[in-house]
Amino acid sequence: MYTDPIADMLTRIRNAYMAKKRSVLVPASKVKKSIAEILQAEGYVQAISVQEGIPLMLSIELVYDEKRPAIQSIVRESKPGHRKYRKAEELPHILNGYGIAIVSTSQGLMTNKNAREKGIGGEVICSVY
């Protein structure tokens, strides 16, 4: 059994892009669904849906620009053994603003840009570009 389900989700997405798959299945949870929704809103994935069954699975449709994957890099920043909390002004700039960081704040999951605009910090979950 894996101890970091978010890292497992990110690894499944990374592996699916490397294998040029159209979609990937991930065990569902509220946090993973929120991360997938942010990725969809930012244009990194095309669609998400929850597949009924035991266990519930999250189906993520991947985006390609011709043959090039939309996600070049997806990295877990804060790990269960080493959490990374940042103030609003200390949130990372990913690829000079072309990428995003997903941040867990007191107001829920959001991108680093949204958190900086609202003036709230939090735990940096992952970075994507």
Which segments of the chain belong to CATH 3.30.1490.10?
Answer: 74-128
Kindly report, residue by residue over 53-100, the tens digit of the pLDDT: 889 999 999 999 988 999 999 999 999 999 999 999 999 999 999 999
Quick one: pLDDT at residue 53?
87
Quick one: pLDDT at residue 1?
55
- Give backbone dihedrals phi and psi of 53, rounded to 5 degrees, phi first: 140, -175
Tell me the pLDDT of the chain averaged across its residues: 95
In the chain, the amino acid numbered 50 is: V
Q: Give the whole-angstrom CA distance, residue 93 versus residue 3.
A: 28
Mean pLDDT of 15-21: 96
The hierarchical CATH code for the domain 5-69 is 3.30.1370.30
- 49 Cα distance to chain centroid: 15
Provide, rounded to the nearest whole percent, the portion of the chain with pLDDT above 90: 93
Which segments of the chain belong to CATH 3.30.1370.30?
Answer: 5-69
> Tokens 């991930």 — which residue?
26
Q: Give the whole-angstrom CA distance, residue 104 versus residue 121.
A: 8
Asked if residues 59 and 32 have their Cβ atoms less than 8 Å apart, the reply is: no
Quick one: pLDDT at residue 102?
98
pLDDT at 2 over 70: no
Which pTM value belongs to this model? 0.94
Highest CATH level, class, for 74-128: alpha beta
Asked if residues 101 and 127 have their Cβ atoms less than 8 Å apart, the reply is: yes
Query: Binning pLDDT at 50, 70 and 90, where does residue 3 land?
Result: confident
Is the peptide bond between 80 and the residue preceding it cis, with omega within 30 degrees of 0?
no
